[in-house]
A and B are shown apart, each in its own frame.
Chain A
Amino acid sequence: MYQLLKQIAKTGIVTEPAPLSDAALRALEQRLGKLILKHFGRALAIRHVDAGSCNGCELEIHAMNSPYYNLEGLGIKFVASPRHADMLLVTGPVSRNMETALKRTWEATPDPKLVVAIGDCGCTGGIFGESYASCGRVSNVIPVDVAVPGCPPTPVAILQGILTAITPGRK
């Protein structure tokens, strides 16, 4: 126990400041009012859905949970069910075998809901493209608010995408 406490004390706090939002990542105009966004900004529940990725984007979503990024300190929490979620974080080209599951997950998420597509594949279909087995980009299957490119996008880029989705538009 002594060693464990010593290690915690020695490590200290490594958390870094969060990135700013970036309007260029928007795929759809902001649909939500300031009041809703104010609440989302303080307690955002995210459900991650891997719709067919190579698992590269998942590595970076995991990395976002490292103490460097301190998501929970920003009021962002990953939840176990779409019914508890405000936002879906979707990776991959959507495989045709996941098309139904993704649609059902989206339908199970209560309104108002936001969708952030992650990675080159989520944005465009990426190297897998569209085929007998792949529907391509996420917006081919469900509406996407913000799309974050990268192969895979870094944790900072994903975080920026999430923050962009809950930032009020120019209106």
Chain B
Amino acid sequence: MSKAFKELGLEATPLAGAMPAFCASVPAAELRGLCEQARARKARLVALWGSDETSRRAGYALHLALGFPSGLLWVSVPLSREDPHYPGIADIYPSANRMQRATADLLGILPSADADRRKWLRHGAWPEGAFPLRKTVEASARFARGPDNYPFVPVRGEGVHEIPVGPVHAGTIEPGHFRFSIVGEKILRLEERLGYKHKGIEKRFEQMTLEEGAKLAGRVSGDSTVAYAWAYAMAVEGATGTEPPPRALALRGILLELERIANHLGDLGYLGNDVALSFGFFQFWRLKEDLLRIQAQLFGHRYLMDAIVPGGVSKDLTGTAGETLAAHLARIEREVVTLKSIYDEHAGTQDRFIMTGQVTPELAERMGLTGLAARASGIARDLRVDYPIPPYQQLDPRTASHVRGDVAARVAVRFDEIFESMRLVQALVRELPLGEIRTPVAAAGAGARGLGWVEGWRGEVLIALETAGANRIHRLHPHDPSWQNWPLLEHAVHGNIVPDFPLINKSFNLSYSGVDL
């Protein structure tokens, strides 16, 4: 067991599964002390969620996933049935703010009174005092619509006015509300209000078997379907003690890197579009479409949905398919090299990219920025590199890292990662292990835990699973890196002009569906 956890005075038990992970139980009174010490040891908050344990003759529980250098620590805090309160930790880990509020809306588990207790997911779909994720609420339950008054923070002063944007945006974008307080063209403050897409995903999981859940996991955030499907499979395999065959793991690596390439290609096109370089849009979207068509041809789905399943993968690369893929990627790579030099040398484009929407490394560290955006702000973290498990173990993946934290840096990380993912796919295709692609999933007893933790294109995707009896799901929390990164967008726009907001927003390209659940 890890020394780090002993120093924290924790009895942490290892959790079976692909990634290094540990479980510990901590009383509510010790939660803040633990978080302060974890923070001092450079551990980051990966996720925070709650669960209803009343069906197991207990109360409720708060759960935290903390990322230590030695692995992930899953901390559970038992709370009483009558009074499920805990001391809030948003002053220690700022990203906990919205997670605490979502947990309060869904389960009635409340942080202490000094915490931000504004609602987050609830809007008007269910009234105050109703908690849809509690076990006493039937899946068929419907609530009367409650009022939806949200207390935005007002900004006052001479010449200050507000621009409310959304939930229905001007482009093809997911719904969310942005409240800008501006002077002239300059943004003084941005307040986000999300939750519009809340469609009860976590409750839905609890009506499913472990097998059925795979399809839903792949639709938490469609643009990261591979990352979620892999994380889900990893969690189920950990909980059931199933080991996927080596060929399946290599194929999963190929699928995940293809998803990264496809999303980065699309984003680079849109980032060109947002600075009026429509040439860039059409070129990158042509390449993305080429890639999507190859994916459809080889794996049966343009976005690779349902290709990863618990126990392995459902699609194999047979015959000369691997060579076909490698040849197409080599062609796309050559074109990306040309397009990169065009972007780099285009003065108008660079003028809009450089120093726009900056997140300094200090701010990124303090607020807990993660994933692609963090790597553009000097935080060189990447699960594929930090915890190299098969198939990444032998590939020695490189972390892209830039320090300026502006749109240009997030563009640069995307270019670097496209080239690195191309290299990884080529290497995986070349040395694809022989053998089966799927192994039967063992049966799970009640109360088995599993964790899936995967570096998707946007950042780390976490699935925390606890089983019920008969291969069903007691509680499943899917966690998107957008939880951590949305609050940083509010900071990144400070002092920028309103017309640069779409560009800055696109440079993060965060998921709404992934956090609204």
A binding-site residues for B, Cβ under 8 Å: 3-4, 7-8, 11, 14, 48-63, 65-68, 78, 80-82, 92-93, 95-98, 100-101, 105, 127-129, 131-134, 151-152, 154
Size class of the B contact interface (CB-based, 8 Å): 35 or more
Q: Which residue of B lies closest to A96 (CB)?
A: B125
* Cα distance, A78 to B346, chains bound together (Å): 28
17 contacts between A and B (CB under 8 A): A4-B346, A54-B219, A55-B174, A55-B511, A55-B512, A56-B305, A58-B174, A62-B266, A78-B171, A78-B172, A95-B199, A95-B516, A97-B123, A98-B167, A127-B204, A133-B132, A134-B199
* Cα distance, A133 to B171, chains bound together (Å): 25
| Chain B contacts for A133, CB-based, 8 A | 125-126, 132, 198-200, 203
* Cα distance, A133 to B126, chains bound together (Å): 8
Asked if B126 and A3 sit within 8 Å, CB to CB, the answer is no
Asked if A95 and B283 sit within 8 Å, CB to CB, the answer is no
Asked if A48 and B124 sit within 8 Å, CB to CB, the answer is no
Chain B 189-223, CB-CB to A under 8 Å as 1, else 0, gives 00000011111110110000000000110011111
Asked if B174 and A66 sit within 8 Å, CB to CB, the answer is no
Q: What 6 pairs across the A-B complex have the smallest Cβ distances?
A: A56-B222, A133-B200, A96-B125, A80-B170, A66-B285, A54-B222
Q: Residue A132 contacts which of B137, B175, B305 (CB distance < 8 angstroms)? A: B137
* Cα distance, A128 to B222, chains bound together (Å): 13
With known contacts A7-B339, A97-B125, A14–B286 Cβ distance under 8 A: yes
B147 to chain A, nearest CB (A): 12
Asked if B170 and A154 sit within 8 Å, CB to CB, the answer is no
* Cα distance, A93 to B200, chains bound together (Å): 11
Give the residue among A51, A98, A128 with the most B Cβ atoms within 10 A.
A98
With known contacts A3-B345, A105-B168, A128–B266 Cβ distance under 8 A: no
Asked if A63 and B285 sit within 8 Å, CB to CB, the answer is yes
Asked if A132 and B141 sit within 8 Å, CB to CB, the answer is yes
Tell yes or no: B42 within 8 A of A by CB. Answer: no
Tell yes or no: B420 within 8 A of A by CB. Answer: no
* Cα distance, A58 to B239, chains bound together (Å): 33
Chain B 219-231, CB-CB to A under 8 Å as 1, else 0, gives 1111101000000
Q: Residue B200 contacts which of A49, A78, A134 (CB distance < 8 angstroms)? A: A134
Asked if A4 and B279 sit within 8 Å, CB to CB, the answer is yes
* Cα distance, A129 to B219, chains bound together (Å): 13
Tell yes or no: B330 within 8 A of A by CB. Answer: no
* Cα distance, A3 to B167, chains bound together (Å): 40
Asked if A97 and B170 sit within 8 Å, CB to CB, the answer is no
Asked if A81 and B219 sit within 8 Å, CB to CB, the answer is no
| Chain B contacts for A53, CB-based, 8 A | 174, 197, 222, 513
* Cα distance, A155 to B318, chains bound together (Å): 27
